[in-house]
């Protein structure tokens, strides 16, 4: 009978969680109180269903005293509760349970504490798909934050190991790893194809929506990217969600919504980033978009005095004047610019520079 337990463990490692459950049930009928069996059943439940289901399996199988004293059960309880009491439990288990370090790193990543995760995993040698994915995620975050090409390449290699593995390439983690590698290579269209292959299974999860929406937008498909990203909550998800939504608004000719994102932002750092994005993107687009570029540069000047912001505000204003003159020169031009022109003139006067006053 013990052979069924060993087979169940191997099946769990291979990702065949439902078949693992079947093998456990055979041994479990003879030994219903087996700690190994009941713990593995909980782990299978976690992979097949969710944390609460797995936690209920532990609660039904083990009394509270044992759950609080046994290291493996304490570790798994943290995992099943999504990291609850992670800092109190996991550090002391790092030298006892191999997965403890990995799960602590995952906990840091979920909190956005990239430096803490990187320090924890600094000398860690990846030896499993999960560890390659964690290290790949850490290096991707560092590379995108710092612009480090070395970290991006290291991240790509970790994701490639999982995505190209014969044993992992057709699993969900394998597909997501390949999509991550393609995204880091800026091969967005191929990444979208891979995301589409798992969309039916993961399409309602926030992590998938974030990665899929950003990939769509990065590929130039801003409308579909916006539709996906708008289903996410700013409060519970990525801090730069508003930046991608603003980018989508800008590129789908929706300037009022992009400006509204800035007006509704209470975070000073995010406010500055949004204004920079609006100013630079609308300046590049030109035409009637110069109006919003001028407003953004003017608002930036209120936050920080800068020659480049002043030049941007004046240049965008002149660009808008020229756009109005050109449109008015065309036959049957019906657009009324008077309100926006008045706003631009008022803005130039308030800039209080000799050049802006002369233009106004």
Count of other CB atoms within 10 angstroms of residue 269: 9
Return d(Cα 208, Cα 201) in angstroms, integer: 10
Report the mean per-residue pLDDT for the chain: 89
Residue 332 confidence (pLDDT): 56
Residue 335 confidence (pLDDT): 62
Residue 239 confidence (pLDDT): 61
Return d(Cα 191, Cα 29) in angstroms, integer: 46
- Of the pLDDT bands very low, low, confident and very high (cuts 50, 70, 90), residue 358 is confident
What number is the average pLDDT over the span 116-138? 93
Q: Shortest CA distance to 197 belongs to which of 217, 222, 225, 178?
A: 178
- Of the pLDDT bands very low, low, confident and very high (cuts 50, 70, 90), residue 21 is confident
Residue 156 confidence (pLDDT): 96
The residue that leads in pLDDT, 296 or 329, is: 296
Return d(Cα 291, Cα 333) in angstroms, integer: 18
Return d(Cα 192, Cα 231) in angstroms, integer: 18
Q: Give tens-digit pLDDT for 159-177.
A: 999 999 998 888 888 999 9
What number is the average pLDDT over the span 177-205? 93
- Of the pLDDT bands very low, low, confident and very high (cuts 50, 70, 90), residue 94 is very high
The residue that leads in pLDDT, 4 or 63, is: 63
Q: Shortest CA distance to 1 belongs to which of 18, 21, 23, 33?
A: 23
**Three state DSSP letters for the chain:** CHHHHHHHHHHHHHCCHHHHHHHHHHHHHHCCCCHHHHHHHHHHHHHHCCHHHHHHHHHHHCCHHHHHHCHHHHHHHHHHCCCCCHHHHHHHHCCCCHHHHHHHHHHHHHHCCHHHHHHHCCCCCCCCHHHHHHHHHHHHHHHHHHCCHHHHHHHHHHHHHHHCCCCCCCCHHHHHHHHHHHHHCCCHHHHHHHHHHHHHHHCCCHHHHHHHHHHHHHCCCHHHHHHHHCCCCCCCCCCCHHHHHHHHHHHCCCHHHHHHHHHCCCCHHHHHHHHHHHHHHHHHHCHHHHHHHHHHHHHHHHHCCCHHHHHHHHHHHHHHHHHHHHHHHCCCCCCCCHHHHHHHHHHHHHHCCHHHHHHC
Note the residue count of the chain: 360
The residue that leads in pLDDT, 332 or 55, is: 55
Q: Give tens-digit pLDDT for 309-351.
A: 999 999 999 998 898 888 877 655 556 677 888 888 888 888 8
Q: Shortest CA distance to 171 belongs to which of 194, 191, 190?
A: 194
Cα 41 from chain centre: 31
What number is the average pLDDT over the span 183-211? 92
Place of tokens 């459950």: 21
Return d(Cα 289, Cα 92) in angstroms, integer: 57
Return d(Cα 46, Cα 296) in angstroms, integer: 48
What number is the average pLDDT over the span 259-264? 92
Res 243 pLDDT > 70: yes
Question: Do the beta carbons of residue 284 and residue 312 sit within 8 Å?
Answer: no
What number is the average pLDDT over the span 79-87? 93
Percent of the chain's residues with pLDDT above 70: 95
Res 8 pLDDT > 60: yes
Percent of the chain's residues with pLDDT above 90: 57
Q: At what angle do helices 172-184 and 188-202 cross, to 10 degrees?
A: 150
Res 85 pLDDT > 80: yes
pTM over cut 0.85: no
Place of tokens 């932002």: 265
Res 138 pLDDT > 80: yes
């Amino acid at each position: 009978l013990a052979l069924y337990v060993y087979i169940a463990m191997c099946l769990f490692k291979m990702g065949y969680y439902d078949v693992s459950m079947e093998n456990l049930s055979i041994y479990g009928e003879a030994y219903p109180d087996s700690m190994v069996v009941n713990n593995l059943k909980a782990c299978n439940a976690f992979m097949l269903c969710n944390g609460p289901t797995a936690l209920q399996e532990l609660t039904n199988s083990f009394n509270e005293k044992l759950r609080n004293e046994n290291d493996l059960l304490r570790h798994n309880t943290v995992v099943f509760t999504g990291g609850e009491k992670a800092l109190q439990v996991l550090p002391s288990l790092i030298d006892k349970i191999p997965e403890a370090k990995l799960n602590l790193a995952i906990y840091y990543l979920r909190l956005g504490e990239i430096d803490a995760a990187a320090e924890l995993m600094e000398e860690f040698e990846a030896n499993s798909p999960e560890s390659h994915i964690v290290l790949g995620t850490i290096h991707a975050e560092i590379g995108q934050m710092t612009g480090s090409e070395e970290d991006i390449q290291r991240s790509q290699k970790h994701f490639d190991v999982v995505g190209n593995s014969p044993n992992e390439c057709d699993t969900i983690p394998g597909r997501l790893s390949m999509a991550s590698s393609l995204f880091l290579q800026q091969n967005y269209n191929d990444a979208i194809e891979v995301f589409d292959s798992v969309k039916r299974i993961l399409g309602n999860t926030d992590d998938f929506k974030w990665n899929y929406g950003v990939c769509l937008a990065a590929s130039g498909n801003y409308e579909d990217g916006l539709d996906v990203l708008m289903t996410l909550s700013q409060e519970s998800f990525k801090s730069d969600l508003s930046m991608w939504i603003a980018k989508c608004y800008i590129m789908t000719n929706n300037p009022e919504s992009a400006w509204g994102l800035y007006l509704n932002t209470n975070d000073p750092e995010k406010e500055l980033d949004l204004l920079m994005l609006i100013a630079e993107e609308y300046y590049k687009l030109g035409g009637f978009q110069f109006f919003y570029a001028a407003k953004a540069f003017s608002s930036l000047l209120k936050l920080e005095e800068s020659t480049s912001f002043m030049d941007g505000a004046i240049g965008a204003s002149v660009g808008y004047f020229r756009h109005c003159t050109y449109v008015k020169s065309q036959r049957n031009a019906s657009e009324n610019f008077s309100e926006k022109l008045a706003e631009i003139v008022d803005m130039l006067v308030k800039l209080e520079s000799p050049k802006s006053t002369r233009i106004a």
